[in-house]
Amino acid sequence: MRRIKIIALTSALVGTLDGLAAVLQFKLRGGQNPFQVFRFIASGLFGREAFTDPILYPVLGIVLHYIIAATWTTLFFLYYPRMRYFWVNTYIAGVIYAIVIWSIMNLIIIPLSNTPPLPQSIGSSLVEMFILVCAVGLPISWIYHKSN
């Protein structure tokens, strides 16, 4: 039960940190309505329809965002002990895991989803990876190590 609680709290933390970072990045790029971030997430399942309803799809996007955060958190907690020889220390494990998450999400999951295409550049990809390192990879790795 303790492990489930730690995974749930870690998922909530990284989901919130990543969501806030995504909204901040969106606003810094000139975006007006931060709910667009969560509509985009919902569009992975619902396509362009996710941009039609002002409340339903942003809420579904938030729920999906936290489900995704919980999935990545759970995967780390489940598989990290089996792959210990790959991870030199807490911080390197967090950085590597964030890069793995970015790679799988951006090279496999998002292209296979219904999201509209977004312009990508090396600069934007590096910013996204940095956000995942700080908001997801390092917190998951650090909490995992502190809880064991």
75-123 pLDDT per residue, tens: 999 998 887 666 678 899 999 999 999 999 999 999 999 999 988 899 9
List Cβ neighbours of 18 (8 Å cut-off, separation of 6 or more): 65, 69, 131, 132, 135, 136
Evaluate whether 50 touches 40 at the Cβ level (below 8 Å): yes
Query: CA-to-CA distance for 101 and 72, rounded, in angstroms?
Result: 8
Query: CA-to-CA distance for 49 and 66, rounded, in angstroms?
Result: 21
Number of domains in the chain: 1
Evaluate whether 69 touches 18 at the Cβ level (below 8 Å): yes
Note the pTM of the prediction, 2 decimals: 0.93
List, for residues 26-78, the tens digit of each pLDDT value.
999 999 999 999 999 999 999 999 999 999 999 999 999 999 999 999 999 99
* Structure tokens given for 70: 């919980």
- Residue 125's domain comprises 2-147
